[in-house]
Amino acid sequence: VVFMHYPPLYAGCPYMDRGHAFSDIDTLLPALLRANRPSYIFCGHYHMARTLNSGALRVHITPSPYMNIDPAYRERVASDLYRRPYREITLHEGKMEERLLEA
């Protein structure tokens, strides 16, 4: 389980992928994909809710409590889908569960 600010891969949001993606994706992503078991990454930065899978890598992007971006647009278009979001992560007997909630 890794917690980081930036997602370690492109998230399919033209505005963020084009100008605000993690600068070392080409270095970090291959290393994460070589892991021998599933890896779970929790991050924010992209101002949207999204879960992405790549090989054994599962990336959970948690939306912002301030402002979110509609991922369909090449320009920054605000989205008001979430009010005070947070992600609950539970680890129990070697299993992880997560869910996106709102306060």
Contact call for residues 101 and 87 (beta carbons, < 8 A): yes
Give just the sign of the alpha carbon dihedral 87, 11, 19, 49: negative
Across 20-33, average pLDDT: 94
Q: What is residue 7's predicted lDDT score, i.e. its pLDDT?
A: 97
Q: What is residue 84's predicted lDDT score, i.e. its pLDDT?
A: 86
What share of the chain in percent tops pLDDT 90?
A: 69
Closest CA to 47 of 8, 22, 80: 80
Q: What is residue 34's predicted lDDT score, i.e. its pLDDT?
A: 92
Strand partners, 99: 88
The whole-chain average pLDDT of the chain stands at 90
What confidence tens digit (pLDDT) does each residue in 3-23 have? 999 999 999 999 999 999 999
* DSSP 8-state code for residue 62: P
